[in-house]
Structure 1
Amino acid sequence: MKDRKPLQKKIVNALLGSLILLGACQSQPDSIKPVRQSITESVYASGVIVSENQYEVFATVSGIVDEVFADEGAAVDIGSPLLSIANDAQQLMADNAELSAVFNALSLNRGKLDEAKSLADLMKSQLENDSSLLERQKRLWAQNIGSKVELEQRALAFERSKNNYASAQEQRKELERQLSYLSRQARNNLLISNKNTGDYLVKSKIKGRVYQMNLTEGEMVTPQIPLGIIGDDEKYLLEMQIDEYDIVAIQLGMPVLVVLNSYRDSVFDAVVSKINPIMNIQSKTFTVEAEFVRPPSVLYPNISFEANVVISTKKDALLVPRNYVLNDSIVVNEAGERLIVKTGLKDYKMVEIRSGIDANEALILPGQ
């Protein structure tokens, strides 16, 4: 029998060699090379559709809903009544204010002013007469005619008439001021009463559509309870939330790519139209509005959407996967050397390399 030990030794050596070769191949890290293609940097956002000028309707008084004039879906104009609140007591107060305004109207109290003027005119005539008699008595006294007592009596009569005339003038002026005051006060009270009465009739502030009406007849109304929602029925806005880390990159006029949950298979173009300059403390986000370039044919408030605000786009850029770049500034080549690069645009997968390497540089993942 032949000795099998040399053959077994050869087989073992061959297997060991294969394992070493396989291990050597597996120890070589995967490498990639940069590619040239377009890249778009964008900021993710989510939000809801709102009607332009959309607002919640509130009453300024409390009471019971008397009648609802507009249901959901109703078209309204500026000043269109939405609902009325029972106001019997307020209506009585308004009637009293109107009666007071009529009673104190200056035109209806002209007779009192005329009477006061007549009295002042009478006092003026009396003053002129007493003045004439006093001057006559003085001339007689200068001619030693009459007595000093008669002169003093004429002087006293003149002073009395002068005081009476001054008093009559003052009374006339005071009566005129008082009547004017009462008239204006009554008119203002009537305006206030009418304003308060008008508060019991809730009206639309815009031309649009009633999207929601929360109360029905007989329910209680307070200024804290929203009565409904009204907005424009022709123009809609995209109201989205942007994270505080991304808000500094957002500018007016930037394009927005929108996917509505009601139109999952379509992408709509929009443009940033407004940036609210205060952050929501709870969510750490800013509210940004955008307008459709060409809106869908059918829209409703509160439809949710996802969007990407396009920050910048570049064609034929030199790109590598983002996980191949360490700290946005370092890549590692096949030889394990760390190379400093300058990065540019980024999306969620790729990053632009502006300088530091070219398209022929083979790279490995940092840490391999």
Structure 2
Amino acid sequence: MKQIPIEYQVSPFMVFFTIITIQLGVGMLGFERIGAKLVGNDAWISTLLFGISVNLMIWIIYQILNQGNGDIIAINQNVLGKWVGGLFNFIFLSYIVLLGATTLHTYIEVVHVWMFPSISSWVIAGAFLGLCYYIVTGGFRVVVGIGFFGIVIPSILIFTFFYPLQYADFRNLFPIAQHSFLEIMKGMKGNMFSFFGFEMLLLYYPFIRKAKTSQKYAHYANLVTTIVYTYLMILTLAFFSEKQLASAIWAYLSMIKIIQFPFIERFEYIIVSVWAFFILPNVSFTLWGVSRGIKEALGIKQKYVLPVIILFIFVLSFFLNNRNKINLLNTWTGQIGFVYIYVYLPVLWLIQTAKIKLRR
């Protein structure tokens, strides 16, 4: 694979911000209800275990990338051949497109429910995608820079994690571990969409300066995300009764509605607005990743691919016009991502390792 010039690369430390900004996306606003529906008050255990499993997958991803010394596009073709490798590249890039589309349209649904119910989806989608196009055409370093500010700016809302504590009843968490291990494992699927996005490493690895040294920052980032999600799950379970949580689609937003200031009545408006700083880099990373992947796989320049992908996601806004359709898209995206990350990547790593040892 062609070496990326150093002026286009980012420091290893920036991996910390790229992973956090992708993981802490729109899923954070409502993942609690899904987990609680599956395993009740043990949902926090499923969240914690899934976070630990993501760290294992990050380790496997780095093993694949370090041994292959390139991105997933080149590695798939080197290990599996042009056609089979190309098939898995197509699956992965299709999944990344779905990930970006799901993130954007789920956020649009939040805007509809909590702020502007009458505004058309295509208006919001067009505004976001226009900004994303401007960001992505600036190059990978610009995308990472937006991701950095996508963490720094929303961090002003950290107090919202603690304000509801005064109304929490932690007796709701007991009895602990009343579900079987198999049930808790099944409950982990409620966290899939929230944690996914870290696999973008497979595409931007060559753009990291001294990439092998960045692994610890990837693990640190996922550790932070795991702590945040586990804490929010515990807080939500303590704040709501199980019956209340079953009907709270956007549990985090429902919880912080209690925050009031003399100068603002609907504080959740602030939350939804600031959350755009999470969504913008999320979608930008996926657009950059897909356009870059297609360039590597087919040799088509990113500037030609990018508008086509944006148009596809924009057109989806005319069809994803209710909660059932968006839920279906979330489900498909999560299932494809789970199979690719948790099934295919370990198998790819084993095949790659075996081929390297045989050559020796």
Q: Give the TM-score normalised by the residue count of structure 1.
A: 0.17
Structure having the larger proportion of residues in helix: 2
Structure having the larger proportion of residues in strand: 1
* Structure with max Cα Rg: 1
* Higher-RCO chain (CA-CA 8 Å, sequence separation at least 6): 2
